[in-house]
A and B are shown apart, each in its own frame.
Chain A
């Protein structure tokens, strides 16, 4: 025998999954939505995504190389995920320099200052988006119309904004347009069906479990249903409003890809459900009575802040312990 024997404590097998593979799977799961978005808004989508990804990776590389001397982690694809998610939260017409600023906030401030992957308390892409939304409100809400969507029913507002400001009713667009993304909006949020495809892929690859996304959407639907009921609606509106709120805006993108972010979500399934209910409720509160038409990003960030608390008090059910 040529080699020395290797000795290590048990177990002697490791999973085929790896951090890089998980992150790569998330990127793959986002690809259908990117394709749909490109069809809807044109090549600008690819431009914004490319700038965002490149800037995120570059900032992470520079910070690790020159500021926090340590091992480089850009090969684990996590910066790419942040880049794509940030781009998905922007309008296609956004100037390139705003994208770069958003990437800087996401990577440098929201991720690396806390110690990098796994230690950030807030979702980096969302911190980037919210920063831009507050710093550049005009550019961030200038939604281009779908290139081949031959309608201007909403006069350039997102469906959520249109409904909020009373321009149109929740049923104006129709479920079909909401599903295939024939509406104004940020890159990622228009392609509902494609995002759901990504969700299925992530479930199949065992990257995430269904608990958080399904709970968020169910909470939102229930909330909308109750609101419709209380405001005296009846008939079609009882299901139109919940369906609209689940399909429009960033609900699917946020619940599948952002709320399930590992380091900013609770460690237990029960904790995850509490977290998800919180997101659903806060989102609906902002959408219905807040200053902004969309509340998903704020809701996720707010619940991110509660995660350490949830982790402290919600422990897994211990084997053999009866309460």
Chain B
């Protein structure tokens, strides 16, 4: 069974909601839509307080090429365009819409009928994806149209669909693959056409045998699409790890990109969104969000409109349990802990994980015993113990030499440390600082 070449861990999978069909969450009364839900420049608001909007209507336009459009997820009145606290308590620009009914903008096909044929050119497909505001829905939120626009001089050789979902607890991609398999595979053909390749792989970890069987059956009807079962190992869903697992090629260290080894990776949910955007004219205004946790009454997969407060999802799953200690936007390996439960679901939010206080509290850190478990767990072949120490000593040059910028922040090192050291807390800080220094150097270079 294929997998990535080095490091990795196998945390308890805890896929509590994998057998729960996708439910539709009732429409929220008020939504807050952040203008920055993606990597790159924030979108620019096209509506003002008092404006009436329809579901699916463009309300904010991409601020630059590296940005994404945003559409109204519900119909109603814009009540504010103002600073609102996000999940981390930081204030950012958001459009607030109060719901009035559910009236959709024109040109969106909401029927279930499968549309297989796509006669658009690559350019037109990418334009449609850009128009629909699609970004990577696995959590990285990289604008998809940017990813599909292959830079001059580079050549794509294959499309890889990321159906790995290696993050514990989360099942939104799994359910999407099961319930929208037909559409997803059509989405794959569209992506292949967009980047001009005739080979696509769908990577799925073998803890989802139903999804592997289902998609293999569908993919058999198409040419050039292959489902690749993968050994269960975190962080297989990391872009570089997935490429290595499927094709055996390793993406060189930054600033190299996956396209340098000829791969274009797209998340399973994103692929479904691409199908909807191109074949149905549906912008990215809703997504499947897993609401999960060992102490929740009913872990679920909910089809949720963007901007819905997280508290509404928790309520739908039976409310916050008495012993809740941590609410995470995402899964327990890479998700961000939240302080503000009224903050909205965004394009990159694949799940909400609720942990009990006992599970959530870190155990007390002791001294490093040099066990080297972090070194063998690192999927990028780095030395986390050393990077963490050098960050605390602010030895930025040494950090750069030891390739801290290659860190993908997967958390394997910290989760495997028997001394419970906050390795990644420090490494992340060191990486940010070193990247800042590299940028500053690049900015200063042309002057000389």
Q: Chain A interface (Cβ within 8 Å of chain B)?
A: 1-3, 5-15, 17-19, 21-22, 71, 73, 76, 78, 116-119, 209, 262-263, 266-269, 315-322
Contact = CB atoms under 8 A, between A and B. Distances in A.
Contacts of B251: 320
B173 interface: no
Contact of A320 (B332, B373, B406): B406
B420 A18 contact: yes
A13 B425 CA distance: 13
Given A5-B337, A317-B6, A321-B252, A262 B369 contact: yes
A10 B383 contact: no
A318 B168 contact: no
Given A14-B415, A318-B253, A321-B252, A8 B337 contact: yes
A262 B370 CA distance: 5
29 contacts: A3-B324, A5-B325, A5-B338, A6-B357, A6-B361, A7-B339, A9-B424, A9-B428, A10-B409, A11-B411, A11-B424, A12-B328, A12-B333, A12-B337, A15-B415, A15-B418, A19-B366, A71-B366, A73-B366, A73-B367, A118-B367, A118-B370, A315-B402, A316-B382, A318-B253, A318-B403, A318-B406, A320-B380, A321-B381
B371 A22 contact: yes
Nearest to B251: A320
Nearest to A2: B322
B322 A267 contact: no
B305 to A, nearest CB: 25
B22 interface: no
A32 B379 CA distance: 36
Q: Mostly helix, strand, loop or mixed at chain B's interface?
A: loop
Given A10-B328, A318-B382, 5 more contacts: A5-B337, A6-B326, A9-B424, A268-B372, A322-B252
Contact of B326 (A12, A78, A118, A266): A12
Interface string B381-416: 111011000000000000000110010010100111
Interface size class of B (residues with CB under 8 A): 35 or more
Given A18-B420, A316-B382, A319-B406, A11 B370 contact: no
B256 interface: yes
B5 interface: yes
A184 to B, nearest CB: 35
A9 B253 contact: no
Nearest to B370: A263
A12 B357 contact: no
Interface of B: 5-6, 11-12, 168, 240, 244, 250-253, 256, 320, 322-328, 330, 332-339, 353, 355, 357, 360-363, 366-373, 375-376, 378-383, 385-386, 402-403, 406, 409, 411, 414-420, 422, 424-425, 428
Q: Mostly helix, strand, loop or mixed at chain A's interface?
A: loop
B375 A10 contact: no
A319 B368 CA distance: 24
Contacts of B403: 318, 321
Contacts of A15: 415-418
Nearest to A315: B383
Nearest to B361: A6
B256 A320 contact: yes
Contacts of A2: 322
B139 to A, nearest CB: 11
B372 A262 contact: yes
Contacts of A315: 383, 402
Contacts of B367: 73, 116-119
Nearest to A209: B376
A19 B418 CA distance: 5
Given A6-B360, A319-B5, A320-B250, A11 B325 contact: no
Contacts of B402: 315
A117 B418 CA distance: 13
B118 to A, nearest CB: 34
A72 to B, nearest CB: 11
Contacts of B323: 3
Given A18-B363, A19-B366, A19-B419, A318 B326 contact: no
A14 B425 CA distance: 14
A73 to B, nearest CB: 7
A78 B418 CA distance: 14
A208 to B, nearest CB: 9
B328 to A, nearest CB: 6
